[in-house]
């Protein structure tokens, strides 16, 4: 039962959020929304614990397609960062604002960048590409691009409000579609150019600006039993995010970027890594 502890805690966390938002906002949708996401994440981590293959991929598509197709396309909610700015400027606590607070601003205090590993609809496609582990050293300077994209998204939505552009809801919907197509194109292009599926996450994704601070304090972390570790470096070679898992310090190299894919745990020959 111990190996399913994380799954149970994840489910309880999202159920608590679902019930709280349902009662606070008197909207049954939030009960369904966060119950669905929490159940998918809990089942996915439980399937992983049971060593079922492709468990994470199944969860990525179950949550990612729900967010992209159902919420984004069918319900017309912009779940990209532009949607967060839009609702924030409107002064309403709903839709993308709630999503960002739960998944990308406060949530990482508990599960770090687990959202990137199990629920991101951009990464669910990028992770299918053939470059699952980086083939070249990290291009640190390229990371500034994420801050530029972050600033541009804020300026774009801010300008719409300042200029009092009409039909903002329609603009937000079409910007959601265009933004996703652009993300996929850039993400796939970078993956092949740099031979790294997660290059988009490392250099371009603006959401990481929110994720990094809270992820530093994440309760859910992969740790290393130094008594067992022999320093073979296998974990470093398979990590898609270049995290140094041999170091237990919170300031370990790229420590805030762990997506909890558990590739390091699976491949460690001495079983020194654990959650």
Q: To which H or E segment does residue 274 belong?
A: strand 273-274
What's the rounded mean pLDDT across residues 50-71? 91
Which residue carries 């993400």 as its tokens?
Answer: 187
Report the C-alpha gap between 8 and 237 in whole angstroms.
Answer: 31
CA nearest to 117, candidates 247, 263, 223, 251: 263
Whether residues 131 and 26 share a domain: the answer is no
| pLDDT tens by residue, 75-117 | 999 999 999 999 999 998 888 999 999 999 999 999 999 999 9
What 3 state SS string does 201-231 have?
A: HHHCCCCHHHHHHHHCCCCCCCEECCCCCCC
Q: How many domains does the chain have?
A: 3
**Mean predicted confidence (pLDDT) in 170-198:** 96
Are 167 and 91 members of one domain?
Answer: yes
**Domain presence at residue 108:** yes
Specify the DSSP element, H or E, that contains 273.
Answer: strand 273-274
**Does 67 map to a domain?**
no
Quick one: pLDDT at residue 6?
84
Is 38:243 a contact under the CB 8 Å cutoff? Answer: no
Separation CA 225–CA 83 (nearest Å) = 42
Q: State which residues form the domain around 229.
A: 221-275
Mean residue pLDDT of the chain comes to 92
Query: Which pLDDT belongs to residue 49?
Result: 77
Q: Are residues 17 and 96 in the same domain?
A: no
Domain presence at residue 93: yes
* pLDDT score of 125: 96
Q: State yes or no: pLDDT of 250 exceeds 80.
A: yes
Same domain, 114 and 33: no
Considering the domain architecture, whether residues 240 and 210 belong to the same structural domain is answered as no
Q: Which residues contact 82 (CB under 8 A, 6 or more apart)?
A: 153, 156, 157, 172, 175, 176, 179
Lowest mean pLDDT, pick from 49-53, 54-58, 140-144, 203-207: 49-53
Residue 3 predicted with pLDDT over 80: no
pTM of the shown model = 0.91
3-state helix, strand, coil in the chain (%, to 5): 65, 0, 35
- Average pLDDT (47-69) is 89
pLDDT of residue 54: 85
Stated length of the chain: 275
CA distances from 183 to 2, 9, 139, 170 (A): 39, 32, 19, 20
* Residue 1 clears pLDDT 70, i.e. is over it: no
Domain match, 200 and 226 both = no
Amino acid 58: pLDDT: 92
Mean pLDDT calculated for residue range 178-185: 96
| Residues 98 and 225 placed together within one structural domain of the fold | no
Residue 58 located in a structural domain: no
6-45 pLDDT per residue, tens? 889 999 999 999 999 999 999 999 999 999 999 999 998 8
pLDDT-derived band at 52 (thresholds 50, 70, 90) equals confident
One domain for residues 260 and 147: no
Is the pLDDT score of 199 beyond 80? yes
């Amino acid at each position: 039962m111990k190996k399913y502890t994380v799954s149970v805690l994840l489910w309880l966390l999202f159920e608590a959020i679902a019930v709280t938002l349902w009662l606070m906002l008197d909207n049954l949708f939030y009960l369904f929304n966060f119950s669905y996401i929490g159940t998918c994440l809990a089942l996915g981590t439980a399937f992983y614990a049971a060593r079922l293959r492709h468990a994470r991929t199944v969860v990525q598509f179950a949550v990612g397609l729900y967010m992209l197709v159902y919420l984004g396309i069918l319900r017309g909610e912009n779940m990209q960062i532009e949607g967060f700015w839009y609702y924030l400027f409107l002064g309403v606590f709903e839709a993308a604002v709630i999503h960002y607070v739960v998944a990308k601003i406060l949530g990482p205090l508990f599960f770090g960048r687990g959202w990137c590993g199990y629920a991101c609809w951009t990464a669910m496609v990028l992770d299918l590409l053939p470059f699952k582990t980086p083939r070249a050293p990290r291009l640190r300077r390229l990371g500034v691009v994420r801050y530029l994209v972050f600033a541009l998204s804020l300026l774009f939505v801010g300008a719409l409000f300042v200029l009092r552009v009409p039909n903002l809801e329609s603009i937000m919907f079409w910007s959601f579609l265009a933004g996703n197509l652009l993300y996929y194109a850039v993400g796939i292009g970078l993956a092949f150019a740099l031979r790294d599926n997660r290059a988009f996450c490392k250099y371009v994704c603006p959401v990481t600006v929110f994720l990094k601070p809270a992820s530093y304090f994440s309760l859910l972390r992969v740790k290393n039993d130094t008594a067992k570790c022999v320093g073979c470096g296998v974990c470093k070679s398979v990590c898609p995010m270049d995290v140094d898992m041999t170091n237990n310090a919170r300031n370990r190299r790229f420590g805030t970027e762990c997506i909890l894919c558990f590739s390091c745990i699976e491949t460690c020959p001495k079983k020194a890594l654990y959650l």
